[in-house]
């Protein structure tokens, strides 16, 4: 069968990324231009700055992706692009770029849901992974526990009631002066701390055992810091980071294992920026081994935002016949499973 080559573009937040993907699973190039250094100054992503920077970078990133893959626009079969959820001004840059290329080269345009992209990152390095499987999606904006019933078909079992897991990492990191983005910094600092030093709450939601809540643990961390300050005591930041991280990871693993048991799923995957967390990866792997489940996780570079995962998702959408028109727009609050 002829190979299918897709150029994918991702610009939903603070990375401008492009990738050429063959048959959904082979990455020919993966270019990521990160704006982290710019946003660090403000302690978080500034939407207006993100959009402007995407405009500056997008052509260059696409050209580099084509060059690294050793292909031209004439070799492509389709253009895939993230059209939601995310920052509207940031998404629009990628969508406009994708539409322009697709229109000029008369190529099919395939809009991709950002979270479907994160889940699809698992297909890149695991040729044996096929739906159905259970996937925990933990990013800066989302925390979902889903059954991937088929490519692009999701049954949502649980979600966060308040903060996303990544958001909790970022807020706690800011509170202890680690700066943005907080997740990788807490991950690193935790290695020097004792995860049993402070017991933070693990929220249980009575009505839905697969739902999550992270605002309680975040408030408990802030209270702990305030109380220490009032008493004039120094906070051991490494112990605090490690204890907070353990509280979050314990809940993520516990709920995933419960869902796996209840829904008789024996393949477990993780996805999203927080899936690059060392403690989460180790704890989930251990729990999967203990329960006899097969564990899948993308390499850290495919966990945080990238276009390779969008190319993987776009391929399966393309094969299913998903096509978008020239009226494709950015949808900042696009729901999972919507097209």
- Return the SS3 of 224: helix
User: What's the CA gap between 90 and 35, in Å, rounded?
Assistant: 12
Q: What angle do CA 280, 253, 182 make, to 5 degrees?
A: 40
User: Closest Cα partner for 308 from 76, 72, 80?
Assistant: 80
User: What does 158 interact with, of ligand KG4, Zn ion, none (CB < 5 to 8 A by kind)?
Assistant: none
User: What's the CA gap between 337 and 252, in Å, rounded?
Assistant: 22
H or E element, residue 112? strand 109-113
Per CB under 6 A, 274 contacts ligand KG4:
yes
Q: Indicate the residue among 5 and 237 with the shorter CB distance to ligand KG4.
A: 237
Per CB under 6 A, 181 contacts ligand KG4:
yes
Q: What angle do CA 261, 264, 265 make, to 5 degrees?
A: 95
User: What's the CA gap between 150 and 148, in Å, rounded?
Assistant: 6
Per CB under 6 A, 166 contacts ligand KG4:
yes
Contact range with ligand KG4 by CB under 6 A, out of 3-11, 119-127, 144-152, 274-282: 274-282
User: What's the CA gap between 88 and 90, in Å, rounded?
Assistant: 5
- Return the SS3 of 41: coil
Q: Indicate the residue among 80 and 101 with the shorter CB distance to ligand KG4.
A: 80
- Sheet arrangement for strand 133-138: 153-159, 143-150, 133-138, 267-271, 294-296
Per CB under 6 A, 182 contacts ligand KG4:
yes
Q: Mark residues 298-317: x for contact with ligand KG4 by CB under 6 A, - for none.
A: ------xx------------
Contact range with ligand KG4 by CB under 6 A, out of 99-107, 201-209, 225-233, 269-277: 269-277
Per CB under 5 A, 120 contacts Zn ion:
no
| Beta-bridge partners for 20 | 7, 29
Per CB under 5 A, 139 contacts Zn ion:
yes
User: Closest Cα partner for 32 from 333, 310, 313, 332?
Assistant: 310
Q: Indicate the residue among 76 and 314 with the shorter CB distance to ligand KG4.
A: 314
Per CB under 6 A, 140 contacts ligand KG4:
yes
Q: Indicate the residue among 116 and 305 with the shorter CB distance to ligand KG4.
A: 305
Q: What is the DSSP string of 163-208?
A: S-HHHHHHHHHHHTT--SSHHHHHHHHHTTS-TTSS-------TT-
- Write out the binding residues for Zn ion, residues 141-160 only, by CB under 5 A: none
Shortest Å distance, C-beta 174 to ligand KG4: 11
- Write out the binding residues for Zn ion, residues 274-293 only, by CB under 5 A: none
Query: In the set 89, 183, 298, 311, which binds ligand KG4 (CB under 6 A)?
Result: 183
Q: Mark residues 11-50: x for contact with ligand KG4 by CB under 6 A, - for none.
A: --x-------------------------------------
Per CB under 6 A, 141 contacts ligand KG4:
yes
What residue ranges bind ligand KG4 (CB under 6 A)? Answer: 13, 139-141, 166, 169-170, 181-184, 187, 272-274, 276-277, 304-305
**Can you give the binding site for Zn ion, defined by CB under 5 A?**
139, 305
């Amino acid at each position: 069968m002829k190979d299918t080559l897709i150029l994918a573009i991702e610009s939903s937040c603070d990375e401008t990324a492009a990738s050429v993907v063959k048959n959904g699973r082979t990455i020919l190039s993966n270019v990521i231009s990160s704006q982290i250094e710019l946003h660090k100054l403000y302690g978080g992503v500034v939407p207006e700055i993100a959009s402007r920077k995407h405009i500056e970078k997008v052509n260059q990133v696409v050209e580099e992706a084509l060059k690294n893959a050793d292909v031209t626009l004439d070799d492509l079969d389709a253009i895939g692009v993230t059209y939601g959820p995310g920052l509207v001004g940031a998404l629009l840059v990628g969508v406009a770029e994708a539409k322009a290329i697709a229109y000029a080269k008369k190529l099919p345009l395939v809009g991709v849901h950002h979270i479907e992209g994160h889940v699809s990152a698992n297909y890149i390095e695991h040729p044996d992974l096929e739906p159905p499987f259970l996937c925990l999606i933990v990013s800066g904006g989302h925390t979902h526990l889903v059954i991937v019933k088929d490519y692009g078909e999701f049954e949502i079992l649980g979600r966060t009631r308040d903060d996303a897991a990544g958001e909790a990492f970022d807020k706690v990191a800011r509170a202890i002066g680690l700066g943005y983005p907080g997740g990788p910094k807490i991950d690193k600092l935790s290695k020097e701390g004792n995860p049993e030093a402070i017991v933070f709450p693990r929220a249980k939601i009575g009505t839905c055992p697969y739902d999550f809540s992270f605002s309680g643990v975040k408030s408990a961390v802030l209270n702990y810091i305030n109380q220490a300050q009032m008493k004039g005591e120094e906070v051991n930041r490494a112990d605090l980071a490690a204890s907070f991280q353990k509280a979050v990871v314990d809940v993520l693993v516990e709920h995933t294992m419960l869902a796996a048991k209840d829904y008789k799923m024996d393949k477990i995957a993780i996805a999203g920026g927080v899936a690059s967390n060392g403690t989460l990866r180790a704890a989930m792997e251990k729990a999967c081994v203990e329960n006899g489940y097969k564990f899948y996780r993308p390499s850290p570079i495919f966990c945080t935002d990238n276009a390779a995962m969008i190319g993987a998702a776009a391929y399966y959408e393309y094969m299913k016949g998903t096509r978008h028109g020239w009226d494709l727009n950015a949808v900042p609050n696009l729901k999972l499973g919507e097209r």
